[in-house]
Amino acid sequence: MKRWVPGLLVVLAAGVILAGLAYYFIPEFPGSPVPPGIRLPPGFSLAVYADTVPGARSMTAGPPGVVFVGTRGEGKVYAVLDTNQDQKADRTLTIASGLDSPNGVAYWDGSLYVAEVSRILRFDRIGEELEHPSPPTLVRDDLPTDRTHGWKFIAFGPDGRLYVPVGAPCNVCEGADPRHAAILRMDPDGSNLETYAPGVRNTVGFDWDPDTGDLWFTDNGRDWMGEDLPPDELNHAPVPGMHFGFPFCHGTGNPDPEFNRGRDCTGYTPPARDLPAHVASLGMRFYTGEMFPDEYRDQIFIAEHGSWNRVVPTGYRISLVRLDHGIPVSYEVFAEGWLEGRAVSGRPVDLLVMPDGALLVSDDHAGKIYRIAYGTGQQG
């Protein structure tokens, strides 16, 4: 009896440790081509648009039939082609490789812009050179080099300028570079760089209201304030210069326990809407298509990549924020099922409204792009 009791205690202790770790390390299992548990509102369907896009992250529409896709750890940029216009990609080409977290892609005036951690590249005449792109032109190479939150989402605004965020180089801190924790903008040739919105911890998705031209963006809240604090944010920045609070205040009136130093949170621009904490709200798009029912027109879809350190995981879904005359009035889950218990089959990153009105969803965990359609727009 005395010989095996210590061994039993060791086994029990190991079991307790593993059980505790299970709260923080979520098993991720690749799903079937279409995760079997995806749930959508009645009338909607989800199908695989492209299944050979490892690390698929941000997306931008290129020439007809072409979607450009950025990545992070893969260091690649893809062109996903639907050459026969059957609403399913039939080719995936690698436009560039060996890049430094080329998450951000934007197509403008026949050229593809790609954002790495510290520089912006431009591939000219890309539609004519998909098979063999020419070497890119350097637009800028003097952005901060910090790895934390260094990957970027980029897009051109209605003003014809390129918007480029620089994330905070930390969980929470005051960055040494005034460009940290801000959304910048520049001319297409990289000139006239300026700060548009300071106080932004880490936005990986933004879009412009199709009616007003106002900028809206998601922002990821800091970690280690609790299971349900601080919230992620949906922000509205109609004019430059609005400060959104980071690192002093988070969400609507939540002072930072380390960096607030007695500041009044009412002195900063609050979110247009608080989003659930730790869901990792990334890509967001106004729905501008004609396929979905009218109630979805000009509403905001958000890709929730999913929590990484919450005891009960959350996110791993697509949510919908409904607006009434530019004011968010509700938040609801639109598509879910990539998270079942603690098993993960996918992690939505970005969204893209296609010319036919379908909504594409990139998934960097499964390396796929899905297509959400409604009614007769569904694939046969």
Structure tokens at 201: 């911890």
Amino acid 268: pLDDT: 98
Q: How far apart are CA 346 and CA 102, in angstroms?
A: 20
Whether pLDDT at 207 is above 50:
yes
Q: What percent of the chain has pLDDT over 70?
A: 91
- Going by C-alpha positions, the residue among 60, 63, 189, 69 that lies closest to residue 126 is 63
Question: What residues are paired with 245 via a beta bridge?
Answer: none
The answer to the question of residue 3 being in a domain is no
Residue 24 placed within a domain = no
- Phi then psi dihedrals of residue 6, to 5 deg: -60, -40
Asked if 206 and 215 touch (Cβ cutoff 8 Å), the reply is: yes
Six-digit token string for 57: 């992250």
pLDDT tens per residue across span 20-76? 333 333 343 333 478 888 999 999 999 999 999 999 999 999 999 999 999 999 999
Taking all residues of the chain, what is their mean pLDDT, rounded to a whole number? 92
DSSP calls for 245-261 = -TTTEETTTEE-TTT-T
Domain range enclosing 310: 30-377
Residue 19 has pLDDT above 50, yes or no: no
Q: What is the pLDDT of residue 376?
A: 79
Q: Report the pLDDT value the prediction gives residue 379, as an integer from 0 to 100.
A: 64
Distance between CA atoms of residues 314 and 308, nearest Å: 9
Which of 10-14, 42-46, 354-358 is least confident? 10-14
Residue listed under structure tokens 């009614």: 375
Answer for the pair 146, 202: CB distance below 8 angstroms, yes or no: no
| 5 part of a folded domain | no
Polymer length in residues for the chain? 380
Q: Which H/E stretch holds residue 269?
A: none
Rounded distance between C-alpha atoms, residue 308 and residue 147, angstroms: 18
In the structure, what pLDDT confidence band is assigned to residue 13 with cuts at 50, 70 and 90?
Answer: very low
Nearest to 362 by CA among 345, 346, 373, 338: 346
What is the percent of the chain with per-residue pLDDT over 90, rounded to a whole number? 88
Q: Which position has the token pair 């199709």?
A: 210
- Among residues 165, 138, 128, 134, the alpha carbon closest in space to that of 149 is found at 165
CA–CA separation, 290 and 345 (whole Å): 30
**Residue 21 is assigned to a structural domain of this protein:** no
pLDDT value at 335 more than 80: yes
Contact 112, 122 (CB under 8 A): yes
Q: Has residue 205 been placed in a domain? A: yes
Q: In the chain, how many domains are there?
A: 1
Rounded to an integer, what is the distance from CA 139 to the centroid of its chain? 23
Average pLDDT over every residue of 230-240? 98
Residue bearing the bigger pLDDT, 270 or 22: 270
Region 222-230: mean pLDDT is 95
What one-character-per-residue DSSP string does 316-337 give? -EEEEEEEETTEEEEEEEEEB-
Task: Report pLDDT digits (tens) over 79-117.
Answer: 999 999 999 999 999 999 999 999 999 999 999 999 999
Residue 25 inside a domain? The answer is no
Q: Which two tokens stand for residue 119?
A: 């520089």
- 366 found inside a domain: yes
Is 79 within the bounds of a domain? yes
Residue 23: per-residue pLDDT: 31
Please spell the DSSP secondary structure of 276-301, one letter per residue: -TTS-EEEEEE---SSS-GGGTT-EE
Which domain CATH number covers 352?
A: 2.120.10.30
CA dihedral of residues 319, 236, 350, 248 (deg, nearest 10): -90
Asked if pLDDT for residue 153 goes beyond 50, the answer is yes
